[in-house]
Amino acid sequence: MKNTKKEYNRAGYSVGIVFFLVYHTAKRKGSMHMELMYTSTRNASEKVTASQAILKGLSDDGGLFVPTEIPALDKTIEELSEMTYQQVAYEVMKKFLTDFSEEELKHCINAAYDSKFDTEEIAPLVQADGAYYLELFHGSTIAFKDMALSILPHLLTTAAKKNQVKNEIVILTATSGDTGKAAMAGFADVKGTKIIVFYPKNGVSPIQEKQMLTQKGENTFVVGIHGNFDQAQTGVKQMFGDKALAAELDAAGYQFSSANSINIGRLVPQIVYYVYAYAKLYANGVIAKDEKINVVVPTGNFGNILAAFYAKNMGLPIAKLICASNENKVLYDFFTTGTYDRNREFMLTSSPSMDILISSNLERLIYRIAGNDAAKDVTFMNDLNTHGKYEITPEMKAQLADFYGNYTSETETAAEIKNLYEKTGYIIDTHTAVATGVYHKYLKDTSDADTKTVIASTASPFKFTRSVMDAIDPKYDSMTDFELVDELSRIGNVAVPNAIEEIRTAPIRHNTVCEVDQMPAVVKGFLQVK
């Protein structure tokens, strides 16, 4: 008997070896479809598919979904350089969303990146004053959020079908100005969905607010809160974690999902435009094959620069990830000291989409530099929740060597807009100016002028006309918002975007305002849940 068992074990071992070799050869050659799973930053045992992660938005334990590994790009730069934006999107997204079929994914991409963008390139590159501005504002709401929120509704509804979801999906989201409008534009009148957006009543630009309050769609709801963005975001997160509320909604035929950048369905499409920008630079002869570039990203929530980090880890030749903050410089302080500390005065600035002290997406990076250790991540997040701060270890800080952080003050932001306009005639918005200011500080600190640099231009100047025009010349301050729009169009020699033309005369459709603690009651009221 013993001998038989030995032989059996030996045979099993041999079969195992053969399987191992076949499997890894197939994987290497790309002949075997590998399903990428997602896990929570706070619970390593939870494993879900891409479509399940998109549907849930946030893990039950409050963690964020991250891929178990970051897949490598399997197309050469020569191949990518000949592709359209839609084709590049497919090559990137198929690596992350592995339970979507080719047909499903291409349908989502083609439905998203169509004529609602005012340029065929989708995300054009403009050279100005030694840098390459990646214009991410050519979608229906003229901000970079369109790049992901144009496709998220299609990914979400496809995911719902794949997982036989019977409930109506309620998109619950907080916005610092751009996400709300972009999400509503994406989800407006999409069957089987409702969308509820919370924003800080006095913390967005007049144009941003009007864009939201005039939003059409019977399934769209907008609420101004008496509080700041962090409070809106915390309120939304608490509702996601409220099991009693979830049960009430389920009984009424609803379930929550998220359109915030915490949703992996938001993050993955953002990786695409960095790959596309690199491919375009190569196609235009600006960079040689494998030449490294720098990327500068203005960020509050850390999602947009995290996408660039993921692109780098897919194999895209990025040297430095330059993280630009405004006067809410919690991220700059983090990269400088290794301590994340939100215990500080909240500043209202001219770049309101970055007025954030709780950078939710940073958790994904923390999890990674902690060695994908969910228990460590939980400790840091508990410290943040309890004490408003946490400190990473020296070993973790050493893994941030590819990042450079700095900030641009309000005065400096205005000066950057004015200087670039006077030098080149090119007009940028306040958020992009924060990035430009930090890029200039990076050059001063490093003398790295030879590395080609892409600056993520995250919003159209038409979205923040007053701040932009005041920066160029204080005389404009006497004009009305829409007079400023026309003057900006004239001096910049740029047509007024449709997104602005539409709201000139559009009626206000949403006027709900509430206190922070009333947010769950407002949601139940909209959904008529008793």
Beta bridge partners of 254: 168
**342, exposed or middle or buried, with CB in 10 Å at 0-12, 13-18, 19+?**
middle
Structure tokens at 278: 């690199």
First CA to last CA across the chain, in angstroms? 68
Cα(316)–Cα(312) distance, integer angstroms: 5
Amino acid at 87: Q
Q: Which two tokens stand for residue 182?
A: 């972009």
Q: What is the CA radius of gyration of the chain?
A: 23
Report whether 222 contacts 199 (CB < 8 A): yes
Q: Catalytic: 216?
A: no
Catalytic residue, candidates 56, 94, 145, 280 = 145
Distances from the Cα of 60 to the Cαs of 41, 156, 256, in angstroms? 11, 18, 12
How far is C-alpha 108 from the geometric centre of its chain's CA atoms?
18
168 token code pair: 């109506």
Question: Which ranges of 370-452 does DSSP label H, i.e. alpha helix?
Answer: 374-387, 394-398, 410-424, 430-446
Q: Which residue has the tokens 């101004």?
A: 224
* Alpha carbon distance 27, 74 (integer Å): 12
Sheet containing 38-40, strands listed edge to edge, beginning at the edge strand earlier in sequence: 43-48, 38-40, 65-67
Beta strands in 107-235 (DSSP E): 125-128, 131-135, 168-174, 193-200, 220-225
Q: Are 510 and 215 in contact (CB under 8 A)?
A: yes
Tokens encoding 2: 């013993």
Return the closest-CA partner of residue 335 out of 352, 350, 321. Answer: 321
Go through the chain and tell me how many residues it has: 530
Looking up tokens 């709201």, which residue turns up? 503
Q: Which residues have CB under 8 Å from 450's CB, separation 6+? A: none
Catalytic positions are 145
